[in-house]
Amino acid sequence: MIAFPCEPEQLLFHRAPILCLDVVRSGSAERAVAEGAGREWEGALIEGLAQTAGVLNAVDAMSRGVRAGLGMLVGVRGFSIRRLPRAGERVTYEVALIRRLAPLTLVHGAARAGAESLAEGELKFYAGEAP
């Protein structure tokens, strides 16, 4: 099993420059917390949360003894952005499982800068298993 904190590359296929996470603080099949440097772009907040959902799914796959396959963000609902992070500002991404119905996972995601909420909403994620 993975020991946390860990490098996101241990759990995700993403690499720079699209990788939004610098470190995964914690991860389970139900909840994951990661951090990354903020980018002044709405899509990066959603992508950071999607990658954190990828962590959640990777840990879930590992707990079931299978390898996580490629995942994809397939839906966003009720997502609100209060403000964009400043470039380089530390952003914490946290996702919590709402429901998993393989191959789909529905999570609530929240992005924060310190104690300040930046954005939150529901994300739907497709997670296949590695062939």
Partner 1 sequence: MTPSPPADVRATVDRIMVDVFECDPAQLAPEARLGPDLGLDSLDGVDLVVALEKAFQVRISEEVAKGIKTLGDIYAQIEGRRGGGA
Supply the minimum distance, in Å, between the C-beta of residue 49 and partner 1. Answer: 17
Q: Smallest distance from the beta carbon of 17 to partner 1, in angstroms? A: 28
Quote the least distance from Cβ 43 to partner 1, whole Å: 20
- Beta bridge partners of residue 124, listed in sequence order: 75, 106
Q: Closest Cα to residue 123, out of 90, 102, 95?
A: 95
DSSP label of 81: E
Which chain residues interact with partner 1 by CB under 8 A? 74-75, 98-102, 104-106, 124, 126
Token pair of 50, please? 């999607």
Q: Which is nearer to partner 1, 58 or 123 (CB)?
A: 123
CA-to-CA distance for 99 and 95, rounded, in angstroms?
12
Of the two residues 24 and 127, which places its CB atom closer to partner 1 in the complex?
127
